[in-house]
Amino acid sequence: MGLRIFGVILAGGQGRRMGGADKAFLPLAGKPLIRHVLDRLRPQVDSVILSANGDPSRFDGLGCMVVPDEASQGPLSGILAALRQAKALGATHVVSTPVDTPFLPDDLVARLQVAAATAPEGLALARTADGDHPASALWPVSLAPALTVFLAEGGAKVTRFTDAHGAARADFPDADAFLNLNTAEDLAAAKGLLEGKA
């Protein structure tokens, strides 16, 4: 059976450094951040899930299922909820990415798949010259039980889990591809980058 890969956009963050704003809807070059991420991720996967808490109706019109965390312990809670939902819908893997990474590479999923083939449990995360980007990763749905235990024991750090499960690294040449927009300054820098690429 071939791989069936779902994407999950992690939109559950608090946006504290953006004054508590809902990051998904921060405008960048005339459209909300979540649209930038969706436009880049959707062509690479079979379906997209949004990991988000609060009122799901704010995402109406995006054509994505919204799945809340069962317990909020950071990105891994959203990834676990997505793994369970994706498995129920027949997916074999989930590719995760934060909602504030508008420059995702067009070959994100392809490179993660190549790297994952070398990993003992088929887990792979993105890496650039400036380090690992563990929230941008390929997760087999078979890891859901282990992740459930990890979170139940109070674990939260993504790399502690991925390293324990032998995650491979997929190398990407452009560090800007995984630029996180955490502050107003980051948003301004992203606008400059977009204008430079136009």
pLDDT tens, position by position, for the chain (198 residues)? Answer: 578 999 999 997 554 444 456 788 988 888 899 999 999 999 999 999 999 988 899 999 899 999 998 777 789 999 999 999 999 999 999 999 999 999 999 999 999 999 999 999 999 999 999 999 999 999 999 999 999 999 999 988 999 999 999 999 999 998 889 988 877 787 777 787 777 654
pLDDT reported for residue 198 = 45
Asked if residue 37 lies in contact with residue 9, where contact means CB atoms within 8 angstroms, the answer is yes
Residue 69: which CATH number? 3.90.550.10
Number of domains composing the chain: 1
Whether 9 and 50 have beta carbons less than 8 Å apart is answered as: yes
Question: In which domain, by residue range, is 155 found?
Answer: 5-197
Say if strands 47-51 and 31-32 run parallel, antiparallel, or are unpaired.
unpaired
